[in-house]
Amino acid sequence: MTTTGEIDTSRVTEAPADMSPPARRDPRALRALLPWVFPAVAALAALLGSDTPAREVALYAAYLLLAVVTPGTLVFRGLFGSRGNWPEDLGLGAATGLVVMLAGWALGAATGLQHLLILWPVLVVLPFLAVPRLRRHWRRGPGDPLPLRWSWAMAATLVAITGWAATVFATPLPPVTHEYYPDLYYHLALVHEMMRSMPFQVPQLAGDTLRYHYLSDADIATASMVTGIAPTTVLLRLWLIPIVSIAAVVYAVLARALTGRWWAGPLAATVAFAGQALSLGSAVPTFSAPVPVTVNSPSQTFAVPLIGLFVVLAVDRLRGRPLGWGWAFLPVLAVACAGSKASVLPPVAAGLALTGAVTLCRRRPPWAAAGLLAVTGFGMAAGLRLFAGGGAGTLQPQALSLLGWIEPYRDTLGAGDGVVRNGLVPLGVEQAGTAGRWFVAWVVLWALLLQAPRLGGLLRPRGATRTDPAFPLLAGIVVAGTGAAWALWHPSASQLYFFAAAAPFGAVLLAWSLADRVRGWRAPVAGLIAGALGELLLPAVHVPARETIGNWAWTLAVPVLRVAALTVAAILVVVLLWRRRGARAVPVALLAAVAGASIAGGVRWTTETLADPPVKTSNKGVAVRAPEMAAALWLDANAGRDDVVATNVHCMPMRVKVCNARAFWVAGLGGRRTLVESWAYSDETVAANGRDGLKYFYQPAPEPGVYQLNERVFSRADPADVARLRDDYRVRWLFADTRAGAVSPRLADVARLRYQRGTVTVYEVR
């Protein structure tokens, strides 16, 4: 016995050792992770196979995970809640993270503290570690789980996107003798400009205020500053696959939210980003064969996931889900969209206006649509104030101007349209006779028909979808984007970006329209297979030898008539065999066939291009040689961040009577502002389009006095001119290329020779 409060140790035995088996990992979690291994391996293979250093691949992956995806996911969950599954949370969180990093970059550029950008993600994440109420956002919240099939389908979509990106990676990394698309050099120069402090200047015309949608360049600059990876490697290799993959997941989220079908998300994402316009066996390209993302336009590519995120949140609100503190994030997101690409918000504004009008017609106050429209309007106004310039001011109304970029019209009625806007319709349309106008109508109809993967979803929805406020939103976006592309004029067809902004939403609508009608798996699967086989097996109808209106009309009609006949025959067989059930399956099969043909066309193009890459013969006068690139890269490594460079390189090709002022490579690869390099995209030059019958990039330099002073320095090496460059324009370096023009040997007497290779000599101004 023991007294009260004492323990009888005689009865206490040692606890047996824990013999239970060790905790095992949940096999369901491992199965859920397995699909994502394949796109990761595909991306790694594509990057390493294109000579991207493994260390830089690992660095960028760590940056993406730790500085973009993690903070963005926490912010998204904190503002809008979890979607109930990891893939959608991470996809929407990554898009949010792009905006969060832009906010950090803007603070750094405004204060000159860019070197502290690496701490910005830490500051964002810290409250989610320190504040107890915010810690729950590290975990997945309640919501709709995703079936494993969704992950496998999305993984296949991302592998297809990676294959497409691998075709772009055929472009070698500098220094190498190669002809890059000139806009890549332009964006590289802007990336370097985004590493400097506000206010920003035009890198090719030092001193001019920069007015351009440059936030994609800011994102690339941020990644480069945080990781230390060269901007050329980020832009030409590391940046593309993650941005497009984020966009694919965002639009997959949108499609699943609209339809409630798991397969609608991967289908919409695949059509949007791995599919193409239909060909129907025609060898004539339509007006928008490329996908809505491209390496040649980082601004368009970067805008796609941001505007997708905006519409996902807009759909949530229109369907009655409160946004709470998320309303404070929406204006920031809208400004980010406008600063990425000016053409993405106007179609959304049109869709919201249509949604409000439809809501009013149903005798309900459109408060949600009005609030979202106000946010969109704020983003457009801020974008016009902060970013828009040059090309944006050149957009003018002209119906059917897009015909000038379609071969059947351009080579017949449009041969004399010229380079300027000459009326409310193109000159060839205005002067066409009856037969010509019928031909114009047929070309427009043919071009729209080939865009069925982006326009086919406008078919009237069924059931409850008719009253869903999300349908007029998406339909308005697609109609407005397509209408703007056909109603506006731009000297370089930049009105097409309105359609590019709307195209992914068209793919979502196609998946929605299909999901509304599906009642079983046989009809959609049969349609997908039939469409894919038709796209792959139909023989091509080639361009006529004699390019007349009649020949062109017949060339466009043959593939359409052939496909129409095959479709009618298939419909008759289905209806006769299944009668009433078959009649209901016809629209399902047709929509699925459109999706199947689009996907098959994209996959075929990718596989053929990877198997047999086209050999690009560089124009010797346009291609920048390896020694020239090396000299520019040396300048980037040795000049001060804010130093100004004078150069005699202005034209592509060099030494021509009429200068094509798009040689942006000295500022792009050299990474420094140039006094006068190339001026094709300046506001004044673009506004002068058509003067003396010349397109804008053939116009003379906007400031003749500065240009002439710049040229005299290289041709005469007058000490007084060099001193003026130094004292009045803060020029610290002279980049002289004898391929661009004669260079005085006396330059070494008035400036210090620092580097010489090939045709390039670099001098430092004393």
Distance, CA of 68 to CA of 227 (rounded, Å)? 13
What per-residue confidence (pLDDT) applies to 371? 96
- Number of structural domains, the chain? 3
Burial degree of 256 (CB within 10 A; 0-12, 13-18, 19+): buried
Residues 466-505: tens digit of each pLDDT:
789 999 999 999 999 999 999 999 988 889 999 999 999 9
128 CB neighbour count, 10 Å cutoff: 20
Percentages of the chain per state (helix, strand, coil), in multiples of 5: 65, 5, 30
Both 686 and 562 in a single domain?
no
Task: Provide the 8-state DSSP code for 624.
Answer: B
> Is 448 within 8 Å of 501 (Cβ atoms)?
no
Residue 92 to residue 82: CA distance in whole angstroms: 10
- Helix or strand or coil: residue 543? coil
Residues 318 and 320: their CA atoms lie apart, in Å, by 5
Tokens read off for 654: 């060099």
- Alpha-carbon distance of 388 to 379, in angstroms, equals 12
Q: In angstroms, rounded to a whole number, what is the distance separating the alpha carbons of residues 308 and 248?
A: 9
Please check whether residues 585 and 644 belong to one and the same domain. no
DSSP reduced 3-state for 136: helix
For residue 489, the cross-strand partners are 396
Clarify whether residues 684 and 759 are in a common domain: yes
Residues 49 and 97 in one domain: yes
Model confidence at 583, in pLDDT bands (50, 70, 90)?
Answer: low
What angle is formed at CA 601 by the lines to CA 542 and CA 407, rounded to 5 degrees?
40
Q: Which helix (H) or strand (E) holds 572?
A: helix 549-611
pLDDT score of 541? 77
Question: Which residues, in sequence order, are CB contacts of 113 under 8 Å at separation 6+?
Answer: 107
Is residue 346 very low, low, confident or very high in pLDDT (cuts 50, 70, 90)? Answer: very high
Q: Is residue 551 part of a domain?
A: yes
| Share of residues in the chain with pLDDT > 90 (%) | 70
pLDDT beyond 80 at 257 = yes
**Residue 197 belongs to a domain:** no
Instruction: Specify the pLDDT at position 283.
Output: 72
Q: Name the domain boundary from 552, 579, 611.
A: 611
125 and 262 together in one domain: yes
Per the model's pLDDT, the better-predicted residue between 171 and 667 turns out to be: 667
Q: Are strands 644-647 and 731-737 parallel, antiparallel or unpaired?
A: parallel
**Token digits for 697?**
């990039």
User: What is the C-alpha separation between 190 and 217, in angstroms, rounded?
Assistant: 6
For residue 574, pLDDT beyond 90: no
- Provide the pLDDT for residue 19: 41
- Same domain, yes or no, for 43 and 106? yes
Exposure of 593 in the CB half-sphere (CA atoms within 13 A): 22
HEC string for 311-352: HHHHHHHHCCCCCCCHHHHHHHHHHHHHHHCCCCHHHHHHHH
Extract the tokens encoding 52.
């991207």
Mean predicted confidence (pLDDT) in 641-648: 96
Residue 289 confidence (pLDDT): 46
Q: How far is CA 592 from the centre of its chain?
A: 26
pLDDT class for 692, splitting at 50, 70, 90?
confident
Q: Are residues 703 and 737 in the same domain?
A: yes
Judge contact between 85 and 144, C-beta under 8 A: yes
The angle that helices 345-361 and 326-340 make with each other, rounded to 10 degrees, is 130
Q: Which of 249, 592, 317, 263 is nearest to 473 (CA)?
A: 317
Range(s) of the domain holding residue 578: 532-611
Residue 125 in 3-state DSSP? Answer: helix
**Is residue 468 one of the residues assigned to a domain?**
no
Of the listed ranges 242-256, 498-512, 609-623, 711-725, the one predicted with least confidence:
609-623
pLDDT at position 25 = 53
Q: DSSP letters along 273-291, please?
A: HT-----TTB-S--TT-S-
750 & 675 share domain:
yes
Q: Are residues 556 and 677 in the same domain?
A: no
User: Burial letters for 257-271: b for 16+ Cβ neighbours within 10 Å, e otherwise?
Assistant: bbbebbbbbbbbbbb
Dump pLDDT digits (tens) for 387-441: 986 555 578 899 999 999 888 898 899 888 888 888 899 999 999 999 999 999 9
Across residues 289-303, what is the average pLDDT? 84
Strand, coil or helix: 541:
strand
In a domain, 637, yes or no: yes
- Output the pLDDT for position 492: 87
Q: How many C-beta atoms surround the C-beta of residue 55 within 10 A?
A: 9
**Residues 6+ positions from 324 with CB-CB distance below 8 Å:** 79
Type of residue at 208: D
The count of other CB atoms within 10 Å of the CB of residue 545 is 6
- Residue 592: inside a domain: yes
Q: DSSP 3-state assignment of 760? A: strand
Mean pLDDT for the stretch of residues 207-229:
96
pLDDT, tens only, 358-394: 999 988 999 999 999 999 999 999 999 999 865 555 7
User: At what angle are helices 345-361 and 298-318 packed, to 10 degrees?
Assistant: 20
Domain end among 580, 611, 642: 611
Say which residues have a Cβ less than 8 Å from residue 11's Cβ, sequence separation at least 6.
none
pLDDT category at 582 given cuts 50, 70, 90 is: low
Residue 380 domain-assigned?
no
How far is the C-alpha of 680 from the C-alpha of 688, rounded, in Å? 10
| Rounded Cα distance, 343 and 760, in Å | 40
Please answer whether residues 524 and 588 qualify as being in contact, where contact means their C-beta atoms are separated by less than 8 angstroms. Answer: yes
Those residues whose C-beta lies under 8 Å from the C-beta of residue 323, and which sit 6 or more positions away, are 79, 80, 313, 316, 317, 330
Domain presence at residue 694: yes
User: How many degrees, rounded to 5, is the angle at CA 256 between CA 254 and CA 260?
Assistant: 135
Q: What is the residue-averaged pLDDT of the chain?
A: 89
Mark whether 120 and 262 lie in a shared domain: yes
Q: What is the pLDDT of residue 612?
A: 80
Specify the length of the chain in residues.
766
CA 132 from chain centre, in angstroms, equals 38
Looking at residue 698, its amino acid is: Y
- Per DSSP, helices labelled H in 412-521 are 427-430, 434-449, 452-455, 470-487, 496-517
The residue with tokens 């124009």 is: 619
Rounded Cα distance, 147 and 167, in Å: 32
Q: Which of 584, 611, 638 is the last residue of a domain?
A: 611
Cβ atoms of residues 701 and 611 within 8 Å: no
Q: 465 pLDDT exceeds 70?
A: no
- Above 50 in pLDDT, residue 224? yes
Does one domain contain both 147 and 72? yes
Cα gap 94→88, rounded to integer Å: 10
The answer to whether position 59 is within a domain reads yes
Asked if residue 653 and residue 588 are part of one domain, the reply reads no
Cross-strand pairs, 624: 178
Residue range 65-88: average pLDDT?
A: 96
Phi, psi of 50 (to 5 degrees): -110, 25
Phi-psi region of 399 (alpha: psi -120 to 50; beta: other; left: phi over 0): beta
